[in-house]
Structure 1
């Protein structure tokens, strides 16, 4: 039985996610921008939080961890490489490590780039990956700490997951990301369709997250940097994939 998934808006434009195993009652949250909306979501469903999974150290992903731990007694999991700037961890994780929530086990993926030590959590049986600020809806995170080579390697790992995987990313940046993507691929029919759907969702105050990996592969310029058409669009035909990615990231930073 797949894990139940709940998307929780937090702060101005962040998301936290609950995953719940109906068979055992185990429940985890991925990132805690603030505690109150998460507590409310748990109480409304009668769920008891067992685990807190942290993707990276930025305050808008961890600010509520201490309060939520105190309120629930949940165990905290995060990257060993990031432990010096995370809330106190009960379990420190490395790439290839595992996290078990009820009857399902997830795998840890190092997705450094936005920050070094950023991790993602992949739950293959439920077709879920929690990417926070690495792979985002129609975008990727700014390279605050990593290099283009680092981030391209991280995105390539995520791109290789099964296409039906739901990408649960950390922010509501989708419409602005799509506007940038359209500046590079104005004739991409999948992107045009996604723009319309995202605009309608936001008009109704509905999240545009999660998205499917197949949708990202069809519309996200940061995953498409290896394609000849994208390289041509940024004036770099014949360039390496990582150089094309770096140029696309620089253009998005200025967009």
Structure 2
């Protein structure tokens, strides 16, 4: 996806590349600081989580040809966790801080999955499979932190989350490759059409007998070529220059009489 974003300038692939980078950053952050003992460490993890969701949603908007500004992504990533922290501080319940971010994440990923599933121009199997995997990942990501690490349920949910991530990644990669390929094919066809139109006005003439080469690459007399394509008919005459050059003895008789 990073290749498509940089080389082919696919804006939607750029969004999803950033989203997966934020996901890996959150995994690294969690592996380093879990369990979270400081509030700021938790807030940073939530910023990465919400930023991932907002960027995925931006990619879904880009897939539909719509724009989602980078400033909006940054604003959502910061405002949602800080709002949750503010509410938790006001009511004296620290559990509200992650719940607000989890809820926002679930809503944004569900919206992204819906927009992906209903995107026109893509095969139904790719759209539905990728959207289903993304929605499954959203639900399992919200459930996973609420489970005890030592339980079987946690292991099953974690495995399901990883599987959903893998399916989503392959589905998105296939989608972006298809979009990039289709755009290249469309661009080549447009170029060929314009080239054909540009060259369509040229007619190849034999430099000696003046026969014309038609679209089937067959040579035919100029008279027949013109008659088949226009309502005009050609008749033969001789111009004054040719008459003077080829029939000098009869030039006086051929040249038009002045009044």
The TM-score by the shorter chain falls in which range?
under 0.3
Which of structures 1 and 2 has the larger relative contact order (alpha carbons within 8 angstroms, sep 6+)?
1
Tell me the TM-score normalised to structure 1 length. 0.26
TM-score by length of 2: 0.26
